Structure 1
Amino acid sequence: MPGRSVYWIVIACAVFSLTACVAFPGTWNGRPLVYNVRTATILANGDVHLDLLTSLDRRIASAIATTRPPPGAERVVLLIKLDRLTKGFNARRNLDRAHVTVTASSVETGEPVAEAKLVVDASTDDPRYGREQLAEQIAARIRYAFSLTTPRLRVVRHPPKISTILATEAPVAARTSVTTVQPQAAKPVRAPRSATVDDGASGAVRLGADCDAVGNADCLVPQH
């Protein structure tokens, strides 16, 4: 009898183990689902901030646009509903918590084919980040659940905040300056003027020891 009891206990454990491995249709068992997601719609109550919905919609739309689904994947549309926003417990009591329900409906039939219920906690309560980081946490869970691609972030290069005094400056290309020489007009050629042998000559001529032309002009007259 004890042996038969152990036998039936082993059989029952095996049956329960196999049952636990089978996923019921229409539910999400934690493994990524592969669908051809065409679009997504976000629903929320009026007390949910608009910037949270806008940030979440932008992230999901970018993920859908960059995802390349495998051939033959079933086409679905996502309905993302933010059921409520609360606060966490214990160490997370100051962090926001979002309860989200994601339903995937077939494009051909309109019937729901999968549903995921997510509880997402914010990673920080720093007011500088606002609700952007909560939207990113929700989008990350949805991307994982439905095998969506994480879009690449745009890299923004900020100016350096450290001193650049010792930084090596880039070599400056040598500048070549070209000087334009203006042609000069040729000077007119002047014809040489006629000159005599007396031009430019100066001095005194004495014709004799006793003849002074300044005091006695008659001494210049030839004497016969």
Structure 2
Amino acid sequence: MVRRVFRLAFIVLAALPLMAFRMPDSGEAREKLLYDVRGAFVTARPDVPRALVIATDMLVDEAIRATVRATMLPRTIIAVRIDRASHMPLLIGSRHEATVTVQAISVSSGEPIAEGTFKTSVFLLDAEEADRQLAERIADRIAGEFRLDGPRRPTIANALFP
């Protein structure tokens, strides 16, 4: 009898935190962070490969031009700064990495309204296409964060789970 009461009390205590949990509405939290991106410019320090900067700029611009918004959203321009680009030779191939800062700037006021930093990397057997592959990773991340359209590059997850 005491054992049953203990079990019941344990179940009730375990369920209390779960009863207080509330999922936000699916569109409520997401729409607040969405912007109508009108343009982008990519900058970098002098030690970052120029081909990486040019390829990133072209790919982000391509995604912006392919995006059409059905609802009015705050208009922004994004400033992409490649803070650091490096490569590490490995036994087989090499790993290329970039640290990127993205800032959303309001078109109407010119004030920065959002900023974020991320790292991305790519492993390649042949380093000839390193800048292009890294630029695609950067552009895909930006397109995903700002929900931009445009041609998506195939990933292994897309290949395995169509």
Q: Same fold (TM over 0.5)?
A: yes
Alpha-carbon shift at residue 33 of structure 1 (Å): 4.2
- Structure 2 unaligned segments of length 5 or more: list them: 1-14, 25-29, 154-162
Deviation per CA, 1:183-217: give whole Å up to 9, x if none. Answer: xxxxxxxxxxxxxxxxxxxxxxxxxxxxxxxxxxx
Two-structure CA RMSD over aligned residues (Å) = 3.5
- Which structure carries more relative contact order (alpha carbon 8 Å, separation 6+)? 2
> How many residues matched?
141
1:80 aligns to 2:84 (yes or no): no
- Structure 1 unaligned segments of length 5 or more: list them: 1-9, 22-28, 154-224
Deviation per CA, 1:134-178: give whole Å up to 9, x if none. Answer: 11011000000100012379xxxxxxxxxxxxxxxxxxxxxxxxx
- Local SS of the residue matching 1:72: coil
Alpha-carbon shift at residue 90 of structure 1 (Å): 8.6
* Counterpart-to-counterpart distance in 2, 1:84 and 1:97: 8
**Farther off after superposition, 79-88 or 42-51:** 79-88
Higher strand share: 2
* Counterpart-to-counterpart distance in 2, 1:93 and 1:55: 22
Within 5 Å, give how 1:69-218 maps onto structure 2: 69-87=69-87, 94-151=94-151
Report the counterpart of residue 52 of structure 1 in structure 2: 52
- Local SS of the residue matching 2:60: helix
The alignment-based identity, stated in percent, is 31
Alpha-carbon shift at residue 34 of structure 1 (Å): 2.1
Alpha-carbon contact 1:35-1:69 (below 8 Å) kept: no
Report the counterpart of residue 35 of structure 1 in structure 2: 35
Q: Name the amino acid aligned to 1:144.
A: G
Alpha-carbon contact 2:97-2:121 (below 8 Å) kept: yes
TM-score (norm 2): 0.68
Higher helix share: 2
Report the counterpart of residue 189 of structure 1 in structure 2: none
Rg: which structure is higher?
Answer: 1
* Counterpart-to-counterpart distance in 2, 1:67 and 1:89: 37
